[in-house]
């Protein structure tokens, strides 16, 4: 039995068929002007050996582009990232492209290594769903190699990177306004990574909604860096178990929203709640969220990934940007009047 790594090569096919490597290559690449009997021998040898032509290599040799797109995620369990990747994969499939994915778990070295592999394998492009906050310089280096880079994460913004994002400041403002309009003046705000531009923008939006309102209490309840389900659950449980619990909550990501709901369920305490970013069970749970058109984001990303990088990219020109409007999906949890 052949060893697993003893894969047949073009040379072994040519030897089996009794022809030159050049002739075997011409047959397997579908070129014309090869005698029918010769072509038949080569095809029979390839079938017997289990040889398959490397379609990607063939495309690159012919001056075509690789069908592979490198995709960077930080957390495969994050509802927003998972939802966006599902839509992105479907859009890529429609145009004959395929994703090669890494989930970095916020490991900066892993993200850098993956980018190096993408460049070494001549991938057509790189798509960043969520990145390590300190990885921006890596993408600037990759863009200088004239590879198409599209990102949904503002932390990677820079020369040669096309940014597709929602209006994060408006998202925060809408979340706060939704609760203020229903009489809430005591609000708990649960933030994600404090160094993330997304978190910073969402918090700025919340503060802008409170501008000029001295009656709003929220700073005592502000918690940043509760960036996973367990930490959000613990923070909300501590708030709800206190004598001066906030009457409403704003969660800055879908993961944090799920953690808050778990705490509310455990204590059977249900303050008003508005989360930023929708998630699959939100509709069933009647959770009010601020969301954006994720389908439009995925479609725009693929449109840009199919573009051939210009020489301006290699020279350090700024990438383009595409801002997606955000909107309120009111389902009930953010419409509870103060005092209920």
The SS3 of residue 5 is coil
Provide the CATH topology of domain 66-165+294-324.
Rossmann fold (3.40.50)
pTM > 0.85: yes or no: no
Give the other-Cβ count within 10 Å of 101's Cβ.
16
**Tokens (6 digits) for 78:** 């994050």
Intervals of CATH 3.40.50.2300 along the chain: 66-165+294-324, 168-292
pLDDT of residue 285: 94
Tens of pLDDT along the chain (340 residues) come to 344 446 677 778 889 999 887 788 778 776 767 888 888 898 899 888 888 665 555 554 555 567 899 999 999 999 999 999 999 999 999 999 999 999 999 899 999 999 988 887 778 899 999 999 889 888 988 877 778 999 999 999 888 899 999 999 999 999 999 999 999 999 999 988 778 899 999 999 999 999 988 898 887 788 887 889 999 999 999 999 988 899 999 999 999 999 999 999 999 999 999 999 999 999 999 999 999 999 999 999 999 998 866 544 443 445 678 999 999 999 999 998 886 4
Instruction: For residue 308, give the nearest of 65, 62, 59 by alpha carbon.
Output: 65
DSSP annotation of 337:
P
- Block residue for tokens 């860096």: 225
Architecture of domain 168-292 in this structure? 3-Layer(aba) Sandwich (3.40)
Tell me how many degrees the CA angle 74-76-81 measures, rounded to the nearest 5.
75
- What angle do helix axes 79-94 and 254-267 make, rounded to 10 degrees? 140
Identify any residues that bridge with 93 across adjacent strands, giving them in sequence order. none
């Amino acid at each position: 039995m052949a060893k697993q790594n003893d894969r047949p090569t073009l040379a072994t096919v040519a030897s089996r068929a009794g022809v030159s490597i050049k002739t075997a290559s011409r047959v397997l690449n579908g070129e014309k002007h090869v005698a029918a009997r010769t072509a038949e021998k080569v095809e029979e040898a390839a079938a017997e050996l289990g040889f398959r032509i490397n379609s990607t290599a063939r495309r690159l040799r012919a001056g075509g582009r690789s069908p592979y797109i490198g995709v960077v995620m930080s957390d495969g369990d994050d509802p927003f990232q998972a939802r966006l990747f599902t839509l992105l994969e479907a859009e890529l499939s429609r145009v004959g492209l395929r994703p090669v994915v890494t989930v970095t778990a916020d490991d900066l070295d892993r993200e850098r290594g993956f980018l190096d592999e993408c460049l070494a394998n001549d991938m057509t492009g790189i798509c960043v769903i969520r990145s390590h906050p300190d990885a921006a310089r890596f993408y600037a280096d990759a863009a200088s190699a004239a590879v198409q880079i599209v990102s949904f994460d503002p932390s990677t913004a820079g020369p040669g990177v096309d940014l597709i994002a929602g209006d994060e400041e408006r998202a925060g403002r809408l979340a706060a306004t939704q609760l203020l309009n229903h009489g809430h003046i005591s609000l708990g705000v649960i933030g994600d990574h404090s160094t993330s531009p997304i978190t910073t923008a969402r918090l700025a939006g919340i503060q802008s909604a409170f501008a000029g309102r001295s009656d709003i209490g929220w700073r005592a309840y502000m918690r940043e860096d509760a960036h996973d389900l367990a930490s959000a659950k613990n923070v909300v449980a501590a708030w709800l178990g206190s004598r001066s619990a906030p009457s409403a909550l704003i969660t800055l990501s879908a993961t944090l929203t799920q953690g808050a709901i778990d705490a509310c369920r455990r204590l059977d305490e249900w303050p008003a709640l508005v989360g930023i970013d929708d998630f699959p069970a939100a509709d069933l749970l009647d959770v009010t969220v601020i969301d954006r058109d994720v389908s439009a984001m995925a479609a725009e990303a693929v449109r840009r990934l199919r573009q051939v990088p210009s020489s301006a990219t290699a020279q350090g020109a700024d990438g383009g940007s595409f801002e997606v409007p955000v909107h309120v999906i009111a389902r009930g949890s953010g419409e509870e009047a103060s005092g209920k």
